[in-house]
Structure 1
């Protein structure tokens, strides 16, 4: 994978976690499979990739609406998170993104902006040996409105004390790209699946 950077000088780098820093989408997909077994439900692959970056409780609600299900949101979200945490040891990083993180560490502020709970993001980053590289983490609980709303990325810019237009976002999922665009930020798109 070759990353394509936009022109310009940036004051901060903001990274999505799952699918961007962490090659964790297969693990998340398996966690959904395990969690949904109890309710004899499944998460179609096309929807899984289309809805990447959306917080888990909202995803459960969307599954209910889209597939005509009646899944208990809190119970499914908890089961999915537990399944993910049980599988976390198998996650690897996207080497090209990790290289950017290591190269820019100490040169400009960096944040992780994720639709996952902050505790889950921390465990993922610690698993990858990248926790100490980030100045802040914005998790699902830090923004009332998740991606594709711009609030998560705007929150990170505010916490880093930088102008949104001076941030470069690294994202894999369309809701995250929409969030970055709406925040007035340039972005680097990380391919979700091998081409």
Structure 2
């Protein structure tokens, strides 16, 4: 009964002609896996994992987060090297990706009824692996990632490109997101921004990934 009630919290109002979903933390319960990869990466350098900082910048590409980390903490981490190692580790861990059922239920409900896209700040390899792991890849006509060469969230470019590829006006798109940067990007694109955190439970405890590994 409680699970059914959660599903009802996500609705698509009249006038919406296309749906756009973030991936990590929205469709898939992968944030603990990402945090584990972050923690291992910092530990290898003898550094504590800056959890509050990572939560604050959730939804942004790894490379951008590391650039912001260097600037904020006065470090000179090898951004390219750290990014490559972290993304490879995430790729290995994504075999354990699980669907976030309230959002997935909505996506399945609208399969074949409305065109749908995924827009993520992750790499294409990891996003595709995640969607395959949770059995959703065939639902989405369009998948855009950090590898598509457009400015990342909170810039609206990725969402606007997704709408164009779906053939839907931006003002008729609804975006489902779990990150402040993504919600801001959706609003800047003129789309209806829906925060899924109240439904899926917000940010996870990164220790859950360690204990379940």
Residue 167 of structure 1 pairs with residue 173 of structure 2: yes
Change in Cα spacing, 1:6 to 1:97, as seen in structure 2 (3 Å) is closer
What residue is the counterpart of 1:78 in the other structure? 84
1:186 to 192, 195, 198: 192
Task: Map Cα deviations across residues 7-57 of structure 1 (whole Å, 9 max, x no partner).
Answer: 432111000000100111111100111122222233322121111110111
What does 1:116-155 align with in structure 2 at a 5 Å threshold? Answer: 116-155=122-161
What residue is the counterpart of 2:63 in the other structure? 57
Distance in 2 (CA, whole Å) between partners of 1:8 and 1:21 is: 22
Task: State the aligned residue count.
Answer: 194
Structure 1 spans left out of the alignment, 5+ residues: none
Residue 95 of structure 1 pairs with residue 101 of structure 2: yes
Distance in 2 (CA, whole Å) between partners of 1:19 and 1:36 is: 22
Residue 33 of structure 1 pairs with residue 39 of structure 2: yes
Distance in 1 (CA, whole Å) between partners of 2:49 and 2:64 is: 14
Whether the 8 Å CA contact 1:143–1:155 is kept in 2: the answer is no
Distance in 1 (CA, whole Å) between partners of 2:47 and 2:194 is: 34
Structure 2 spans left out of the alignment, 5+ residues: 1-5, 205-213
Whether the 8 Å CA contact 1:43–1:63 is kept in 2: the answer is no
- The alignment's TM-score, normalised by the length of structure 1, stands at 0.94
Whether the 8 Å CA contact 1:143–1:152 is kept in 2: the answer is no
- Structural RMSD (CA): 1.4
SS at match of 1:14: strand
Residue 45 of structure 1 pairs with residue 51 of structure 2: yes
